[in-house]
Chain A
């Protein structure tokens, strides 16, 4: 009985960690893209002001 509950607790915990990790990767992908866009836009603006 106790063994079963441990098995269950491990399975639940594993799944929670898995969805936590997934959520974290989604957030980091989003942040990474935002930073890349910002960097590209900045370099575009710099190019523009240099041309002027």
Chain B
């Protein structure tokens, strides 16, 4: 008997106004593929997402490889061994390239494999460098599915794979290939939880979970395949930082959203405030020099909006390794805006104030991003008027300016 890799003990989850899961117990061992094929609204996606630790639990706990990763008191721990995850809504950012998302999924689990074979197998080789937003729905699904299954081929240790409707929108050839791949993954000892209505998966599922009951699947027709030797190479570190950097460079989103607010503020200041007025009043000067950087930070992190696409935020949150951010770009932007403001007022550049300006944009962005992320569980996070809370930062800004003045930094 293989080791139990996934256990849901007495798990209850509430979503919206209903109890979707109530005291659910489920244990899955290595080498098992459990197919969830309840009818619509039966809680399949909730089981997958709860198992990946995305939903807060009302009762119970989730264990991966015997260790608690989430319990009902809200304690959450990064799993010792990262898992593969395909969300029902893909979980990939539209501005990422196909290979980037797949390689990210591999870097998250700490090892890379050659992905060319799979890109070819699923007819994605010619799309390898395309942005995900340029793909059709079915192709995007293939990318999301590959990001969920390929971690299972990394290294020798069996992993957990959570696949929510991986075959939705896939053509027959792709579905056949997927069933074969799942068979391989199972034989490698991985533990797979798969939600789908497609009958194709009956061929490879060892168990079927329906109406809160786990039954052995008699129609499993799988044969033992020849084990394919897959070479694992080392992963690239800093996947979260790299993703944030790449997305910012590609979309220029920080410059376009935070930058424009900063430049507009700078323009208005230069138009309305006479440079002769600032010499006499230091508090006005330090406030003035930092205003553009502050305004740029108040816009928040544009990365959060990108992450709301196809529920990519949940994909990153589930892995508990951090969420891509724009802090580096904010630092450069804030420093640049502060330097420009000083030059605009015919002052010598004070590098201390320039550094403070950069850090001010980063810290302001950090708080606004925190508010945005705190509301990300809402059904309509973008309709929640989070910007009403931005005045929270005005008082600290005023006190900070006072402190700079008192410290004679200018």
Q: Do any CB atoms of chain A lie under 8 A from CB atoms of chain B in the complex? A: no
